[in-house]
Structure 1
Amino acid sequence: MGFVNTTPRTLTLAQFDALPDDGMRHELLDGRLLVTPGPKEEHQRAAGVCNLRLVMASPDDMEVFFAPFDFRPNDRTSLQPDLMVFRYEDVERDQQRRTLVLAVEILSPSNRSTDLIKKRHAYEKACVASYWIFDPYLSVLTVLELADGQYTERTFKGDEMFAAEQPFPVRIVPDELARRVNGSA
Structure 2
Amino acid sequence: MGYVETLEPGTFTLADLDTLPDDGMRYELVDGVLLVTPAPLPIHQTAALELAIRLRAACPVEHKVFIAPLDFQPTPQRSLQPDVLVCRRADVGPKAIEKPLLLAVEILSPATRSKDLVLKRRLYEEAGVTSYWIFDPAKEELTVLELAGGTYEQRAVVTGKETFDAELPFPVRIVPADLVD
Q: Give the TM-score category using the shorter length.
A: over 0.9
- Number of matched residues? 179
Asked whether 1:9 is paired with 2:36, we answer no
Note the C-alpha offset of 1:99. Answer: 3.0
CA contact (8 A) 2:49 2:67 kept: no
After superposing on structure 2, the runs of 4+ consecutive aligned residues of structure 1 that deviate more than 2 Å are 15-23, 92-99
SS for the counterpart of 2:73 is strand
Superimposed CA distance per residue, residues 82-137 of structure 1 (whole angstroms, 9 cap, x where no aligned partner): 11111111123673633311001111110000000000000000000001010000
Note the C-alpha offset of 1:29. Answer: 1.6
SS for the counterpart of 1:108 is coil
SS for the counterpart of 1:118 is helix
Whole-angstrom CA distance in 1 between matches of 2:22 and 2:94: 24
CA contact (8 A) 2:134 2:144 kept: yes
SS for the counterpart of 1:73 is strand
2:118 counterpart residue number: 117
SS for the counterpart of 1:116 is helix
SS for the counterpart of 1:100 is coil
* Aligned Cα root-mean-square deviation (Å): 1.4
So what's the TM-score if we normalise by structure 1? 0.92
Note the C-alpha offset of 1:169. Answer: 0.2
2:140 counterpart residue number: 139
CA contact (8 A) 1:140 1:156 kept: yes
CA contact (8 A) 1:63 1:86 kept: yes
2:105 counterpart residue number: 104
2:93 counterpart residue number: 92
1:72 counterpart residue number: 73
1:183 counterpart residue number: none
Whole-angstrom CA distance in 1 between matches of 2:25 and 2:98: 26
2:171 counterpart residue number: 169
1:159 counterpart residue number: 161
Whole-angstrom CA distance in 1 between matches of 2:73 and 2:44: 23
List gaps (5 residues or longer) in structure 1: 180-185
Superimposed CA distance per residue, residues 9-45 of structure 1 (whole angstroms, 9 cap, x where no aligned partner): 3212122322333331111122211111111111011
Q: Judging changes above 3 Å, is the alpha-carbon distance between structure 1 residues 134 and 96 closer, same or farther for their aligned structure 2 residues?
A: closer
SS for the counterpart of 2:178 is helix
Q: What percentage of residue pairs aligned between the two structures are identical?
A: 55
1:82 counterpart residue number: 83
Does 30-39 or 119-128 show the bigger shift?
30-39
